[in-house]
Amino acid sequence: MRGRLIVRALVALFVAIAALIAPLGAQQSTPPARRPAAKPAAKPAVNTKTEPAVFECSSLLGQGVNTKRSFCDVLTGRDPAAGIIIKLPAHTGPVTLTFDLHNRHTYSEEQVKAGRAYRHYTATIGVLTADNTLLTRAVVQNEFRTANDLVDRISGGAGPGGIKAVAPTGAESISVTIDAAEESVSILGEKLVVVGVDGTDNFTAAGRPIAVISNVMLQYRPGPVRRTPVRR
């Protein structure tokens, strides 16, 4: 009888110990809960604007019949004030100026039919600050053979359909980064080399139209509006 009591006591003790150990094992096998990863802080939005540039064109070629773009002649010269003046809006940080650069061709149907219309154009221009600092040079080079080599025809002329004989040919996309301190830039022509059926001609004389620009755009971050001081 005494032996049975001892056995029952030992069994009860083992059961109690097992009951205590089981929760501990369950706790150890359960991995700790993970916290969700912190999201990176959102970057402030950059208010960048892209819009057509406002510029002064002293030699406007005209509007394209198909593209409806405004085409402006680039004149040769050394004085930035005599070039195409592009005014920069109030901005913070650098400004990106983009435009399409074209060669300038005088179209003749008679020359095309006679096989004498071929021209190889190389026009070089410069983009300068108001104090005559050169920001970059740009070159457009192309060949003309037929009317298919024209970018567009220009309205407002005396030719058939009211179009001008002069038209843009070839196209080069130009991009220029302008320092934040600038308020305007100027586009001036440097030289034009024309290779034709009768030889090669070079043009550098001041005031001559040697190229054409179109699709002039500005990309910038708006800044505080500059106020002109009131004179008393």
pLDDT of residue 26: 47
Beta carbons within 8 Å of 108's beta carbon, 6+ residues apart: 117, 165
Q: What is the pLDDT of residue 13?
A: 54
In a domain, 20, yes or no: no
User: 88: domain CATH number?
Assistant: 2.60.120
Instruction: Provide the domain count of the chain.
Output: 1
Residue 211 CB contacts under 8 Å (≥ 6 apart), including other chains: 73, 74, 101, 102, 103, 104, 123, 125, 140, 189, 192
Q: Residue 95 in contact with residue 182, Cβ under 8 Å? A: yes
Please check whether residue 77 is in contact with residue 206, taking contact to mean a CB–CB distance below 8 angstroms. yes
* 54 within domain boundaries: yes
Rounded Cα distance between 190 and 55, Å, is: 20
What is the pLDDT, as a whole number, of residue 161? 84
Token pair of 203 as six digits: 């043009």
User: Does residue 36 lie in a domain region?
Assistant: no
Q: What is the model's pLDDT at position 198?
A: 94
Check residue 159 and give its pLDDT.
77
Q: Which residues have a Cβ under 8 Å from the Cβ of 183 and sit 6 or more positions away?
A: 87, 88, 130, 226
Task: List, in sequence order, every residue forming a beta bridge with 71; answer none if it has no partner.
Answer: 62
Report if residue 200 sits inside a domain: yes
What pTM does this model have? 0.77
- Residues 6 or more apart in contact with residue 138 via CB below 8 angstroms: 101, 124, 125, 126, 127, 172, 174
Which domain does 85 fall in, by range? 49-222
**What is the model's pLDDT at position 224?**
82
In a domain, 9, yes or no: no
d(CA 31, CA 212): 72
Residue 22 domain-assigned (yes or no): no
Q: Please enumerate in sequence order all residues whose Cβ is within 8 A of that of 61, keeping only pairs 6 or more positions apart, or say none.
A: 71, 72, 73, 104, 154, 164, 166, 168, 209, 212
Give average pLDDT by consecutive 10-residue segment, the chain, 232 residues: 53 53 50 56 68 96 96 97 96 97 97 96 98 97 98 90 95 97 97 97 96 98 72 56
Backbone CA torsion sign across 102, 179, 51, 54: negative
Report if residue 8 sits inside a domain: no
Q: Is residue 16 part of a domain?
A: no
